[in-house]
């Protein structure tokens, strides 16, 4: 078996080299891997902005005209885009040179700028680094936490009176005097197992939590998360390449069925320095605390979920009286999402509940009936008002204004998104804000006052463009990104046609399909099929968006590329559509995909004998399930960073959608690809990064062992010291997609005679 696998891998690499070399002879109208990654095609993107003055202006990072390569901060007036230098580059020079501005925040009164630079990665994001304060009146630049080692501070922020800065260092919270730079330590037990003011791996990955503390508006109290991860299992990844001796890389990672870190909220009185622990219901290890925010200086709002994640409770806590009150309870028979995944939502944003009605109420999306709706909840009484009494799904919420709320939806087409507005009283009056000419997928970064927005638009036929607009009239103020250069570059290529259709399975399930047709498409011919899949609650693939260059290339080569969304994906098709996947991952979603493929393969121009499927992460898992459970449909598969056994993934994600294995173990077994590896008949390429801290390389090894045990041929490619994305560096990305392309070409040939 080992000899056979070695031979196959050698052959594959040879074919890959041959393929890349042969591509160089293609015409200028045809893409190849080299052209895709040579920088020939360069789409433009907008700069990240920070709203100021309630949205009447914003600040962005731009390159200085005076100092080559240096960053500076530039202010734009929203109504007319009048530009002025906010902080010039020559004011942002330390003894080590110009500061590379990665992000920034402004003090509440706008007189100081807090600059984040020299960052390093913590789990998924670069959240650890150095902070500097630039004082606009005095033009003085000062480093925060200068006595600490470089790149070691997290989540620095100003007090509302500018007198102090707060931050996390080595799992403890600190306060620093902005004038004297005297540093006070506010928590003392943080050591890695005990975590103050930030989070462990799984809270960040599955709840999007990074910043774990907040100062009350009048600087009276500081509320913070305290996690005890001392009993959390440590998973060791292995670095085999940086030394002749391997090095273990430890990650606190709670697997399915294992207890989460114990979590509680502490409130520090910033005068007495005394910490009070808020006595929420239930055990600290039996519940999650995914949200906490100040409503006013004496009112803290806390979100708590049970271990099964089917009950959400919102509590109020008043530090002055220690009064704790439950104001909201939401229950589901399946599961509750905190931030509903959608192509229009910021899944890594804050979990804060938007506060409305002068601080007396909050709004939240729920799926307690047939559709996802927005409800307003009175903080003192708990009385709920249905804000969106419409027979369609709310995709995501944007900014609430004094009387209204903006939200994304698409009542008639789940593959598209548009901006709507309705009043907060729930009177049932809705207005579509996005003009009709922007058909496709839209998104908006709405200013705090709701008067302006950055609008992005794209479709299968139109490249992504970005404009600055006023609201609610949607009047263009300035085009930020038109991508004309990119359009000109693409116009020199032969581009494939894209069509959309609905596919109805034999079980009556109607699924959206996005189909990219080959060049010079002739419906009288037979074409090979490449299915692109994801199929879990955090991904929708059949969307009215522009194709990737790789997809265009595969269509140019002669493949029909198809993406379809099954039940359980975040399509706007009702609550039952999404919630039907509960305890069914690996079964109902795989069945939907296979039955839809069976139907769509009845099209005369599709060759049912030349079918390939590929996916990444959840899509890699789906690929394995399809290849193993439906070998009569899928002949070739490429699975990247896949979960082969649900029992080795993290507890928050897998238990949310599958329950606890202590209660329904068989569901986990029945939904795991490794259970069906014995049925492999087609061609399989596995790809995995050895330093994947999300889906561990262990997952690939478990499947490899089972495939060898069952005497099943396959190919495997590992990327040393690469994480879940694997795409770390241009050469790695190029090599990865070269490999995928070569494998598909070899095993699902465009010319059947090959």
Whole-Å CA distances, 623 to 561, 613, 616, 618, 641: 15, 6, 9, 9, 11
| Average pLDDT for 84-90 | 95
Nearest one of 564, 502, 495 to 529, comparing CA atoms: 564
Q: Is residue 618 scored above 70 in pLDDT?
A: yes
Q: Is residue 9 scored above 50 in pLDDT?
A: no
Instruction: Give 13 or 309, the one with higher predicted confidence.
Output: 309
Q: Is residue 273 scored above 70 in pLDDT?
A: yes
pTM over 0.75: yes
Q: Is residue 48 scored above 60 in pLDDT?
A: yes
Instruction: Give 39 or 372, the one with higher predicted confidence.
Output: 372
Torsion angle (degrees, nearest 10) of CA 570, 572, 574, 576:
-20
Nearest one of 81, 82, 83 to 62, comparing CA atoms: 83
254 CB-contact burial (10 Å; exposed 0-12 / middle 13-18 / buried 19+)? buried
Res. 167 pLDDT band, cuts 50 70 90: very high
| Average pLDDT for 590-600 | 98
Using the structure block, give the residue that is written with the tokens 């498409």.
521
| Structure confidence at residue 15 (pLDDT) | 40
| Structure confidence at residue 728 (pLDDT) | 65
Torsion over CA: 36, 41, 43, 44 (sign): positive
Instruction: Give 445 or 11, the one with higher predicted confidence.
Output: 445
| Structure confidence at residue 20 (pLDDT) | 41
Neighbours of 459 (CB within 10 A): 19
| Structure confidence at residue 731 (pLDDT) | 84
Res. 411 pLDDT band, cuts 50 70 90: very high
- Calpha distance 325→154 (Å, rounded): 31
Res. 11 pLDDT band, cuts 50 70 90: very low
Q: Is residue 4 scored above 60 in pLDDT?
A: no
- Calpha distance 397→363 (Å, rounded): 9
Q: What angle do CA 732, 736, 740 make, to 5 degrees?
A: 170
Lowest mean pLDDT of 597-601, 623-627, 715-719, name the range: 715-719
| Average pLDDT for 642-653 | 97
Q: What angle do CA 709, 711, 714 make, to 5 degrees?
A: 105
SS3 per-residue string spanning 81-136: CCEEEEECHHHCEECCEECCCCEEEECCCCCEEEEEEEEEEECCEEEEEEEEEEEC
Q: Is residue 25 scored above 90 in pLDDT?
A: no
Q: Is residue 187 scored above 80 in pLDDT?
A: yes
Q: Which two tokens stand for residue 746?
A: 């070899």
C-alpha radius of gyration, the chain, whole number: 27
Q: Which two tokens stand for residue 408?
A: 């994304």
| Structure confidence at residue 18 (pLDDT) | 39
Q: Give the residues across from 312 on adjacent strands.
A: 305, 330
Per-residue pLDDT of 335-352, as tens digits, reads 999 989 999 998 676 899
Using the structure block, give the residue that is written with the tokens 């999300």.
694
| Structure confidence at residue 271 (pLDDT) | 96
Q: Is residue 474 scored above 70 in pLDDT?
A: yes
Asked if 385 contacts 376 with a C-beta cutoff of 8 angstroms, the reply is yes
Q: How many residues does the chain have?
A: 754
Nearest one of 541, 537, 490, 473 to 512, comparing CA atoms: 541
Long-range CB contacts (< 8 A, 24+ apart) of 506-509? 506/595, 506/598, 506/599, 507/591, 507/595, 509/566, 509/567, 509/592, 509/595, 509/596
| Structure confidence at residue 139 (pLDDT) | 95
Mean pLDDT of the chain: 94
| Structure confidence at residue 680 (pLDDT) | 98
Phi and psi (nearest 5°) for 4? -60, -45
Q: Given its phi and psi angles, is residue 590 left (phi above 0), alpha (psi -120 to 50 degrees) or beta?
A: alpha
Q: Is residue 16 scored above 70 in pLDDT?
A: no
Asked if 572 contacts 409 with a C-beta cutoff of 8 angstroms, the reply is yes
| Structure confidence at residue 347 (pLDDT) | 65
- Calpha distance 303→591 (Å, rounded): 36
Res. 721 pLDDT band, cuts 50 70 90: confident
Listed in sequence order, the residues at least 6 apart from 309 whose beta carbon sits closer than 8 Å to its beta carbon are: 288, 335, 336, 652, 655, 656
| Structure confidence at residue 17 (pLDDT) | 39
Q: Is residue 692 scored above 80 in pLDDT?
A: yes
């Amino acid at each position: 078996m080992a000899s056979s696998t070695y031979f196959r891998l050698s052959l594959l690499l040879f074919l890959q080299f041959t393929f890349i070399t042969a591509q160089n002879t293609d015409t200028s109208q045809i893409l190849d891997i080299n052209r895709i990654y040579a920088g020939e095609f360069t789409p433009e993107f907008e700069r990240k902005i920070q709203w100021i003055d309630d949205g009447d202006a914003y600040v962005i990072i731009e390159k200085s005209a005076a100092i080559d390569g240096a960053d500076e901060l530039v202010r734009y007036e929203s109504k007319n885009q009048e530009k002025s230098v906010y902080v010039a580059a020559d004011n942002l020079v330390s003894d080590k040179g110009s500061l590379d501005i990665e992000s920034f925040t402004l003090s509440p009164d706008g007189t100081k700028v807090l600059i984040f630079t020299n960052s390093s990665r913590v789990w998924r994001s670069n959240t650890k680094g150095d902070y500097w304060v630039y004082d606009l009146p005095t033009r003085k630049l000062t480093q925060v936490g200068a006595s600490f080692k470089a790149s070691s501070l997290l989540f620095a922020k100003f007090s509302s009176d500018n007198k102090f800065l707060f931050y996390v260092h080595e799992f403890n919270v600190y306060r620093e005097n902005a004038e004297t730079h005297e540093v006070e330590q506010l928590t003392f037990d943080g050591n890695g197992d005990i975590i103050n003011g930030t989070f462990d791996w799984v809270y960040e990955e599955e709840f999007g939590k990074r910043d774990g503390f907040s100062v009350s508006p009048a600087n009276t109290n500081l509320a913070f998360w305290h996690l005890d991860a001392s009993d959390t299992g440590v998973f060791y990844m292995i670095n085999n390449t940086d030394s002749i001796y391997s090095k273990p890389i430890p990650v606190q990672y709670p697997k399915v069925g294992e207890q989460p870190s114990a979590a509680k909220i502490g409130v520090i009185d910033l005068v007495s320095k005394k910490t009070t622990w808020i006595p929420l219901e239930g055990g600290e290890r039996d519940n999650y605390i995914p949200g906490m925010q100040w409503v006013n200086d004496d009112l803290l709002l806390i979100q708590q979920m049970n271990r099964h994640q089917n009950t959400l409770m919102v509590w109020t806590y008043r530090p002055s009286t220690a009064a704790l009150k439950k104001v909201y309870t939401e229950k589901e028979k399946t599961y509750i999402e905190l931030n509903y995944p959608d192509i229009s939502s910021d899944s890594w944003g804050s979990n804060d509940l938007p506060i409305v009605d002068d601080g007396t109420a909050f709004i939240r999306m729920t799926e307690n009936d047939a559709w996802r709706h927005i409800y307003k909840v009175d903080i003192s009484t708990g009385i709920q008002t249905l804000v969106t009494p419409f027979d369609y799904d709310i995709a995501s919420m944007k900014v609430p204004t004094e009387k209204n709320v903006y939200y994304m939806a698409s009542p008639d087409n789940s593959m598209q998104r548009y901006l709507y507005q309705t009043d907060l009283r729930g009177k049932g009056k809705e207005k579509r804000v996005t003009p009709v000419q922007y058909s496709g997928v839209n998104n908006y970064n709405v200013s705090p006052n709701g008067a302006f927005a950055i609008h992005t638009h794209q479709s299968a036929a139109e490249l992504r463009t970005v404009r600055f607009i006023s609201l609610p009239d949607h009047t263009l103020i300035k085009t930020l990104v038109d991508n004309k250069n990119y359009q000109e570059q693409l116009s020199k290529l032969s581009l494939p046609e894209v069509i959309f259709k609905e596919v109805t399975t034999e079980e009556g399930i109607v699924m959206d399909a996005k189909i990219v047709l080959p060049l010079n498409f002739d419906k009288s011919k037979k074409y090979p099929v490449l299915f692109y899949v994801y199929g879990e609650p955090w991904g929708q693939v059949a969307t009215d968006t522009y194709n990737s260059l790789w997809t265009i290339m595969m269509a140019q080569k002669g493949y029909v590329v198809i993406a379809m969304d099954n039940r359980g994906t975040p399509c706007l098709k009702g609550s039952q559509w999404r919630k039907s996947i509960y305890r069914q991952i690996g079964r109902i979603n795989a069945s939907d995909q296979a039955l839809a493929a069976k139907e769509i393969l009845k099209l005369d121009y599709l060759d049912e004998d030349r079918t390939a499927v590929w996916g990444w992460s959840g899509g890699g898992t789906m690929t394995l399930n399809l290849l193993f459970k439906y070998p009569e449909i899928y002949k070739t598969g490429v699975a990247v960073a896949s979960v082969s056994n649900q029992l080795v993934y993290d507890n928050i994600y897998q238990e949310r959608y599958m329950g606890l294995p202590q209660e329904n173990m068989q569901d986990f077994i029945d939904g795991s690809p490794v259970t069906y590896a014995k049925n492999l008949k087609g061609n399989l390429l596995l790809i995995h990064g050895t330093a994947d801290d999300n889906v561990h390389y262990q997952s690939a090894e478990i499947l490899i062992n089972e495939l060898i045990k069952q005497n099943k041929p396959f190919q495997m490619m590992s990327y040393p010291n690469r994480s879940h994305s694997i795409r770390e560096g241009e050469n790695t990305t190029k090599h990865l997609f070269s490999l995928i392309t070569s494998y598909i070409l070899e095993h699902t040939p465009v010319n059947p005679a090959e």
